[in-house]
Amino acid sequence: MKFFFSSGHGACPGCSLPIAVKNVLYALEGKCFVVNPTGCLEIISSQYDRSAWGVPYIHSVFENAAAVAAGIDAALKALGRKDEGHVVVFAGDGATADIGIGCLSGMFDRNHDVLYICLDNEAYQNTGNQQSGLTPPGSNTTTTPAGKILPGKIGRKKDMVAFALAHKIPYVATASVAYPNDIRRKVKRAVEFEGAKYIQILCPCVTGWGINSNETIKVARLAVETALYPIVEYENGELVRVRKIKERKPVEEYLKIQRRFRHLFKHPKGREIIEELQRIADENAKRFGLDE
Amino acid sequence: MKITLGAVSKPYSALKMKTGDWGTHWPKVDEELCTGCGTCEMFCPDMCIEVVKVGEEEVNGKIKEIKKAKVNYDYCKGCGLCAEVCPANAIKMELKDIYKV
Ligand SMILES: Cc1ncc(C[n+]2csc(CCOP(=O)(O)OP(=O)(O)O)c2C)c(N)n1
Ligand code: SF4
Ligand code: SF4
Ligand code: SF4
Ligand SMILES: [Mg+2]
């Protein structure tokens, strides 16, 4: 059981959440206490008497994972048991960027020794694809439905990396399930820092994004190769590393294979959104120097 | 009096859920092509493909383990990701017999 996360969980075939989780736990050699707010990961892995976890695990409520983790950190310190493991949160994008953002800000502000991992599947997927602050523009969700007038979500994806950096925490990074070795390295690096750490991992969702079960990794790679999902790493506020892109692909290549974006190719306002997404990708490439 | 707060489950108690009948396809590993690289194992979302030692060989006077990917069909959901990520193209997804008409 080297991954500390077992078979028998209830995720959809091809779901990328377990891929992120198993590689994080592998990197930590299981030496951790996991806090997990409500969301797909919790539902698939922690039904009563059907736990997939091989490490101590607690299901918090939806909004307070960061506060529960802060409490565990304080308790371990008070009991002199810090050496027993790292405190790790696995939280969805909704739990992170919207509903739990107050507790998260408090945890960052007090700089608790916690590794907070946001599993970013770009919407509230467990309840069937409602938009969150991390849903990208143009995405067709049940709360931003593409119709006669609206072309899916209007507005941008919240910049949670900037939010984390604004708290002056020691380590902030993004990753994608397409690159598990990079996830492992970042997790090992993150826990070398004392204080709050934030890693946001792109985790495509089979049902919400409308892709085949064998496509989650391909889509997670395309998000990076189009520069829509820049892979960056900050230590003490300094940008120390980015994942360079050999030949940047046009955003259409990423959009056209997902049902959540397919309307953009027919909708009267679709072109505008595609151009906006391309502008965002170009901006990312320029800002982080992604083009090789 | 002992009070238990919340509900507690045993580690890996999910193993009693055999998910091997969820999918329509099985991955079949071609051992001739498999290099034992472990890529499939790193990606499988259901922890049911593993690289195991199947023998030993002598390379330049040194004993080297021969490793091959093995699927645990009790849990494999047939998602096809292993076949997608395999750099040696050693995995083919095959329709299960019960779905053949
Ligand atoms: C306070 C509260 N509001 C709503 C819900 C219903 N709910 C359960 S999971 C979920 C979606 C979680 O979304 P996210 O955090 O992005 O995780 P995902 O399921 O997408 O991985 C919602 C809305 C809840 N459990 N608690
Ligand atoms: S709905 Fe999406 S995130 Fe949830 S288990 Fe299925 S594929 Fe994974
Ligand atoms: S088909 Fe999917 S579940 Fe089955 S071994 Fe391959 S990656 Fe794992
Ligand atoms: S990815 Fe392919 S070559 Fe590598 S161990 Fe798996 S089946 Fe063998
Ligand atoms: Mg989500």
Please tell me if the CB atom of residue B71 comes closer than 6 angstroms to any atom of ligand 3.
yes
- Closest by alpha carbon to A6, among B84, B20, B77, B17? B17
**A90 strand-pairing partners:** A117
Nearest by CB to residue B19, choosing from A7, A53, A217, is A7
Q: Which CA distances in Å does B73 have to A9, A73, B29, B68, B101? A: 15, 40, 12, 16, 22
* Residue A8 to residue B7, Cβ atoms within 8 A: no
CB atoms near residue A79 (< 10 Å):
9
Atom 8 of ligand 3: nearest residue by CA position? B44
Q: Does A11 touch chain B (CB under 8 A)?
A: yes
Within chain A, strands assigned E span 32-36, 46-47, 50-51, 57-59, 86-92, 114-120, 171-176, 197-202, 232-235, 238-242
Contacts of B12 in chain A (CB under 8 A): 1, 6, 8, 51-54
Q: pLDDT digit of tens for each residue in chain A (292 aa)?
A: 899 999 999 999 999 999 999 999 999 999 999 999 999 999 999 999 999 999 999 999 999 999 999 999 999 999 999 999 999 999 999 999 999 999 999 999 999 999 999 999 999 999 999 999 999 999 999 999 999 999 999 999 999 999 999 999 999 999 999 999 999 999 999 999 999 999 999 999 999 999 999 999 999 999 999 999 999 999 999 999 999 999 999 999 999 999 999 999 999 999 999 999 999 999 999 999 999 9
Q: Given this model, what pLDDT does residue B3 score?
A: 78
Distance, in angstroms, between A287 CA and closest chain B CA? 31
Distance, in angstroms, between A156 CA and closest chain B CA? 30
Q: Given this model, what pLDDT does residue A173 score?
A: 99
- Rounded to whole angstroms, the Cα distance separating A198 from B32 reads 43
* Residue A217 to residue B79, Cβ atoms within 8 A: no
Residue matched to tokens 């990606």: B43
- Rounded to whole angstroms, the Cα distance separating A186 from A21 reads 13
**A277 strand-pairing partners:** none
Residue B79 has φ and ψ, to the nearest 5°, of: -70, -25
**CATH number at B20-99:** 3.30.70.20
Residue ranges of domains in chain B: 20-99
- Closest by alpha carbon to A214, among B73, B20, B25, B32? B25
Selected residue of A1, A2, A7 to mutate for chain B interface (largest B Cβ count, 10 A): A7
pLDDT tens sequence across B66-81 = 999 999 999 999 999 9
- Rounded to whole angstroms, the Cα distance separating A168 from A159 reads 15
State the pTM of this model.
0.97
- Rounded to whole angstroms, the Cα distance separating A2 from A38 reads 25
Residues with CB under 6 A from ligand 2: A 11-12, 15, 17, 40, 44, 121, 125-126, 205-208
Are B75 and B21 in contact by the 8 Å Cβ rule? The answer is no
Which residues in chain B come in under a pLDDT of 70? Answer: none
- Rounded to whole angstroms, the Cα distance separating A104 from A262 reads 34
Give pairs for B34-39: CB < 8 Å, separation 24+.
B34/B68, B34/B69, B34/B88, B34/B90, B35/B87, B35/B88, B35/B90, B36/B66, B36/B67, B36/B68, B36/B69, B37/B87, B37/B88, B38/B67, B39/B85, B39/B86, B39/B87
Residues in chain A: 292
Packing angle of the helix pair A180-190, A17-27 (nearest 10 deg) = 50
Tokens matching residue B72: 């645990």
Q: Given this model, what pLDDT does residue B101 score?
A: 83
**DSSP per-residue string spanning A148-196:** SS-BS--S----HHHHHHHTT-SEEEEEETT-HHHHHHHHHHHTTSSS-
Contacts of B92 in chain A (CB under 8 A): none
Residue matched to tokens 């499939």: B40
Strand-pair category, A114-120 with A86-92? parallel
Interface pTM (ipTM) of the complex?
A: 0.96
Atom 1 of ligand 4: nearest residue by CA position? B86
Q: Given this model, what pLDDT does residue A217 score?
A: 98
Nearest by CB to residue A6, choosing from B7, B12, B22, is B12
Q: Given this model, what pLDDT does residue B7 score?
A: 80
Q: Which domains does chain A have, with CATH numbers?
A: 17-288 (3.40.50.970)
CA of A117 to the centre of ligand 1 (A): 16
- Its sign, for the CA torsion A233, A67, A19, A27, is positive
Residue matched to tokens 């408090």: A106
Q: Given this model, what pLDDT does residue A129 score?
A: 98
3-state helix, strand, coil in chain A (%, to 5): 40, 20, 40
- Rounded to whole angstroms, the Cα distance separating A209 from A247 reads 25
Strand-pair category, B91-95 with A32-36? unpaired
- The number of the ligand nearest the C-alpha atom of A64 reads 1
